[in-house]
Structure 1
Amino acid sequence: MPTKPGKPRSEGIRAQNLARVLTLLHRSGPLSRAELTRLTGFNRSTVGALTTELGRLGLAYETEPAAPARAGRPSPRVHANERIAVLAVHPDVDAVTVGLVGLGGKVHRRIRHETERCPSVAEAVDITRTVVGGMASSLALMDRVIGIGAAVPGLVDSSDGSVRLAPHLKWEDEPLTTALQDALGLPAYAGNDATLGTLAESVFGAAVGKANVVYLNGSASGIGGGAVVGGVPLGGAAGFAGELGHTLVRTDGLPCHCGRRGCLETEVNLGGLLETLGLGHADLDELEAAMEAAKDSAAFRAVAGRQLDLLGEAVVNFVNVFNPRAVLLGGFLGALWAFDPERLHRAVAAGAIGGLGGSVEIRRAALGADLLLVGAAELAFSPLLSDPAALSNAISSAEQHG
């Protein structure tokens, strides 16, 4: 492919090389120059020039290495600059959570703003703006905030970030990213929360290095999911794949908003756990504390056991269909699993065909309450990771003329 007039081919190659190094630092953590040389296949002088350029752009910095284990000059360690940050937003039926996330997936701040009812798009954006305004001290410590990512419990059009349908929030054809961008003056991006959770766990959490994974996330708005098969996240023809919460687990079950009965997210739900615990709202830490306190309650054990059995029905289906190496459970599903992990393991081992259930790893997502914020942040970091120099220079120029 010919290069654009006035833009040397070598400049394009250098941009690709910068992107590769910054992405490695972002996803793998601090690496020595020697490790970068090995992982990229570039020669030492090229790696040195690239890390120097990333430092000039303010995207990376170097530290002295620990004492060498053997003779020879130790290689400096290169870090992605965690003070280059984005805002991450997760609207749900009972709260809007806002985070400040730096390069490398570092969550500097997380604030959960509870709501009395489902927030509208305008209310969610207004809450986000208010919460960000209260983060002044944390924002002042950042070198730069470059964008906004939103994790939405619904169908999101990846082409423009609009929410096609988020039934629990009662959102339909809502221009969420436009509203966020207008309110905060930063480029905004949005995606399905469970898909972004799958991405976050694959990059920073329990699914690192695993090519075949099913991920399920449970929140107040229901259950979503995602699958990585052969290292490729399943998106579907229109990008809406992963509605695993609508897997049938009980033929005579409760009616679901989708029009069917007995869907996983209808039968296994946070509301049922909270009601039995005598709670109206709870974040993940509060939920787990309450579940621990109720571990000797026969009533709660019966509700939790029933939900675990029905979750097992769904996981058996996913193991049969996707043959994953691991099934990861996020949100309240992770807390439910931790309450009685062996019950779920036994159900899956006994139900899956060909002994597949006995070999699959079932565990909770590693990122905990930060999971969806880290996933949303990946959307906002994507342009920077694709072309570090171009985006960094453009932002600097805009700041100088602002």
Structure 2
Amino acid sequence: MRDTADQKLVRKLNNNIILDVLRKEAPLSRANLSAVTGLNRSTVSSIIDELIDGNWVRETSFQTDKIGRPGLQLEINPKGGYVVGIEIGVDFLLCLVTDFSAEVIWRKRLQTNPEDGQVAIQQQAFDLAAEAIEFGKKECGRCLGIGIAIPALVDAQNGIVKLAPNLKWENVPLRLIWNQQFHYPVYVENDGNAAALGEYYFGAARGIQDIIYIAAGYGLGSGIIVDGKLLRGNKGYASEVGHMTYDPKGALCSCGKRGCYETIIGPRAVIENVKNLITEKGPDHTIIKITEGGKNAINYDAVVNAAQENDPIAIDALKEVGCKLGLVVSHLVNIFCPKMVILGGALNYAKDFIQPTVAKVVKENALKLCQEDLEITNSYLGQESSVMGVIGLVLENLWQI
């Protein structure tokens, strides 16, 4: 009995290895798979036959440089199933559907109002997910799971939102609720962690084992990957960079404390900086002309647009945020010594001004040895980083033991 269990375990491990290699390196022949994985050819062929029968993998002709018939190559079958990923943001919902090869085949974004409350927002999310599932069924047949990203302290193991201060949610059993609604596997993750995973699986950090992801939006989210594993910490709430204290007597944060970095880095801080600079230096600036409504009509998009038109006030406001963020990143670089730091969200939108400033401050403040080979870059996946991260979680867990 024990031998049978061990054989099944080894078989599943080998399945995982083969699928992982095909996702990264396809198309490959059976002989190539054997060479890359170190598994013998008979084992590879047996597993591949099962995967083809299960519609997970498909054979395709691929012309080689050699004379004669093209050899049969193997690749992930995109029609093997679909995954639904959804981000429940503070004031929006973003939903993607990918096929089994993780190609996005459907996307939709909706604006929401956090004041509507948890029940109303959940219903909007259900309706959006139902629309996504209907599309996925037509295209790829079976649903492989649902991933949910949310700006919250998340008990990822049990799928519970412990605290989402900007949404005013607390102790919400999100996985259970969604399981009951749709009856598919559900994975729940903090949006910063999810975004880090998205860039790790599919974006700027593919093939890189040590990364730090930081994004500004309504709050300041982050995720840290060390040795290819998401850093969770003792309770699973690690990487809350936005709630590190900058000034104990500073502005009140949504978490209830004062002077968190979230209050001084991000769109709201940029807008406040611009308003203060206009009060100090006068209203004769491009930013006022763009908004056509005085300084009270200023929004983040207008600031970035004005900066691109060389408005000194807009540029100074963005660079000030870049300087403060650069100090945060310097501390993190000294602690974790990453290969890559990725800036996402609103930071990515203003990348021409924030990223160079962050890089300059890090160069001046972080330890030189920790900076060797360090790359500070912008998000590749943009606004879809978090959703792609939870989609990656579904796919990663599909074959796990």
What's the TM-score bracket when you normalise by the shorter of the two chains? 0.7 to 0.9
- SS where residue 209 of structure 1 aligns? coil
Report if the CA contact (8 A) 1:180-1:188 is conserved: yes
How has the CA–CA distance of structure 1 residues 150 and 29 changed in structure 2, closer, same or farther, with 3 Å as cutoff? farther
- Partner in structure 2 of residue 322 of structure 1: 336
- SS where residue 86 of structure 1 aligns? strand
- Partner in structure 2 of residue 398 of structure 1: none
> Structure 1 stretch 270-279 or stretch 228-237: which is displaced more?
270-279
Kindly state the Cα deviation for residue 129 of structure 1 after the two structures are TM-superposed: 2.3
- Partner in structure 1 of residue 2 of structure 2: 3
Matched, 1:81 2:77: yes
Aligned residues: 376
**1:13-55, CA deviations, whole angstroms, 9 ceiling, x for partnerless residues?**
3232222212333355544434322221112232222222111
Kindly state the Cα deviation for residue 266 of structure 1 after the two structures are TM-superposed: 1.1
**1:144-186, CA deviations, whole angstroms, 9 ceiling, x for partnerless residues?**
1122111111111123201111111111101111221222232
**1:285-338, CA deviations, whole angstroms, 9 ceiling, x for partnerless residues?**
x97797346412233222211111111111111111111111111211222333
How has the CA–CA distance of structure 1 residues 29 and 215 changed in structure 2, closer, same or farther, with 3 Å as cutoff? farther
Whole-angstrom CA distance in 1 between matches of 2:48 and 2:243: 47
Aligned with residue 295 of structure 1, among 295, 300, 308: 308
How has the CA–CA distance of structure 1 residues 322 and 364 changed in structure 2, closer, same or farther, with 3 Å as cutoff? same
Kindly state the Cα deviation for residue 213 of structure 1 after the two structures are TM-superposed: 1.5
TM-score by length of 1: 0.84
Report if the CA contact (8 A) 1:121-1:176 is conserved: no
Report if the CA contact (8 A) 2:348-2:379 is conserved: yes
Report if the CA contact (8 A) 2:114-2:167 is conserved: no
- SS where residue 53 of structure 1 aligns? helix
- Partner in structure 1 of residue 277 of structure 2: none
Whole-angstrom CA distance in 1 between matches of 2:249 and 2:54: 60
**1:366-402, CA deviations, whole angstroms, 9 ceiling, x for partnerless residues?**
2222211111113333442226xxxxxxxxxxxxxxx
CA RMSD of aligned residues (A): 2.8
How has the CA–CA distance of structure 1 residues 124 and 60 changed in structure 2, closer, same or farther, with 3 Å as cutoff? farther
Report if the CA contact (8 A) 2:303-2:314 is conserved: no
- Partner in structure 2 of residue 283 of structure 1: none
Gaps of 5+ in 1: 280-285, 388-402
Report if the CA contact (8 A) 2:83-2:391 is conserved: yes
Whole-angstrom CA distance in 2 between matches of 1:246 and 1:176: 23
* Structure 1 residue identity aligned to 2:341: V
Whole-angstrom CA distance in 1 between matches of 2:389 and 2:371: 28
Whole-angstrom CA distance in 1 between matches of 2:228 and 2:5: 34
Please give the residue correspondences for 1:2-151 in structure 2 after superposition, counting only pairs within 5 Å: 3=2, 7=4, 9-28=6-25, 30-65=27-62, 67-70=63-66, 75-83=71-79, 84-118=81-115, 120-135=117-132, 136-151=134-149
Aligned with residue 337 of structure 1, among 351, 363, 366: 351
- Partner in structure 2 of residue 173 of structure 1: 171
Matched, 1:310 2:310: no
Matched, 1:215 2:209: no
TM-score by length of 2: 0.84
Aligned with residue 261 of structure 1, among 237, 258, 262: 258
- Partner in structure 1 of residue 279 of structure 2: none
Matched, 1:159 2:153: no
> Structure 1 stretch 133-142 or stretch 33-42: which is displaced more?
133-142
**1:188-228, CA deviations, whole angstroms, 9 ceiling, x for partnerless residues?**
221111112222222222222222211112232x1122222
How has the CA–CA distance of structure 1 residues 295 and 8 changed in structure 2, closer, same or farther, with 3 Å as cutoff? closer
How has the CA–CA distance of structure 1 residues 257 and 130 changed in structure 2, closer, same or farther, with 3 Å as cutoff? closer
Identity of aligned residues (%): 30
> Structure 1 stretch 185-194 or stretch 134-143: which is displaced more?
134-143
> Structure 1 stretch 142-151 or stretch 115-124: which is displaced more?
115-124
How has the CA–CA distance of structure 1 residues 122 and 184 changed in structure 2, closer, same or farther, with 3 Å as cutoff? farther
> Structure 1 stretch 329-338 or stretch 22-31: which is displaced more?
22-31
Whole-angstrom CA distance in 2 between matches of 1:61 and 1:292: 47
> Structure 1 stretch 178-187 or stretch 326-335: which is displaced more?
178-187
Aligned with residue 240 of structure 1, among 233, 237, 242: 237
Report if the CA contact (8 A) 1:21-1:40 is conserved: yes
Kindly state the Cα deviation for residue 128 of structure 1 after the two structures are TM-superposed: 2.1
Whole-angstrom CA distance in 2 between matches of 1:131 and 1:235: 29
**1:108-129, CA deviations, whole angstroms, 9 ceiling, x for partnerless residues?**
2221110133553322331122
- SS where residue 128 of structure 1 aligns? helix
Whole-angstrom CA distance in 1 between matches of 2:34 and 2:154: 39
Whole-angstrom CA distance in 1 between matches of 2:395 and 2:96: 14
Report if the CA contact (8 A) 1:27-1:203 is conserved: no
Whole-angstrom CA distance in 2 between matches of 1:24 and 1:190: 26
Report if the CA contact (8 A) 2:215-2:346 is conserved: yes
**1:225-277, CA deviations, whole angstroms, 9 ceiling, x for partnerless residues?**
22222333321011111111123345654232334433221101223456867
* Structure 1 residue identity aligned to 2:22: L
- SS where residue 236 of structure 2 aligns? coil
Report if the CA contact (8 A) 1:213-1:325 is conserved: yes
- Partner in structure 1 of residue 380 of structure 2: 366
* Structure 2 residue identity aligned to 1:3: R
Report if the CA contact (8 A) 1:34-1:75 is conserved: no
* Structure 2 residue identity aligned to 1:335: Y
How has the CA–CA distance of structure 1 residues 302 and 289 changed in structure 2, closer, same or farther, with 3 Å as cutoff? closer
- SS where residue 64 of structure 1 aligns? strand
Aligned with residue 392 of structure 2, among 378, 383, 389: 378
Report if the CA contact (8 A) 1:350-1:357 is conserved: no
- SS where residue 54 of structure 1 aligns? helix
